[in-house]
């Protein structure tokens, strides 16, 4: 079974750069599926930030970027702003489940 592991929390000062990791522990070694990232502001629905490892939907600022190498993916946020304070989730597909899996989420605090 695939598990996506994220750090519970990260923090940074305004203007700084932070990264959030998403590591896959999976029986699907060798299978390659895209990793996607979501931002969830307090009390709101998740919003797609990055899809297929590194693609930004229209309207997402280029301060947000994604990458993937092997079984690890990362979300980077540059020029940190107070409004970036939110929960961030990675998501991918697990063929053993025939469904999606989400990471446990990372709470970003802007100091």
Partner 1 sequence: QVQLVESGGGVVQPGRSLRLSCAAYGFTFSNYGMHWVRQAPGKGLEWVAIIWHDGNNKYYTDSVKGRFIISRDNSKNTLSLQMNSLRAEDTAVYYCARGLYQGVVTSYDYWGQGTLVTVSS
Site for partner 1, rule CB under 8 A: 33-34, 36, 38, 44-48, 51-52, 57, 89, 91, 93, 97-105
Residue whose CB is less far from partner 1, 16 or 97: 97
Residue whose CB is less far from partner 1, 38 or 84: 38
Q: Exposed (0-12), middle (13-18) or buried (19+): which is 40, by Cβ within 10 Å? A: middle
Q: How far is the CB of 29 from partner 1 (least distance, A)?
A: 17
Residue whose CB is less far from partner 1, 13 or 44: 44
């Amino acid at each position: 079974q695939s598990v996506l592991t994220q750090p519970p929390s990260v923090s940074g000062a305004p203007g700084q750069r932070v990264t959030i990791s998403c590591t896959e522990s999976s029986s699907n070694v060798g299978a390659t599926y895209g990793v996607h990232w979501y931002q969830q502001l307090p009390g709101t629905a998740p919003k797609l930030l990055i899809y297929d490892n590194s693609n930004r939907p229209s309207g997402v600022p280029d301060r947000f970027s994604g990458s993937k190498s092997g079984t690890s993916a990362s979300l980077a946020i540059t020029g940190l702003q107070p409004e970036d304070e939110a929960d961030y989730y990675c998501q991918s597909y697990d063929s053993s489940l025939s469904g999606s899996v989400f990471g446990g989420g990372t709470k970003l605090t802007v100091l």
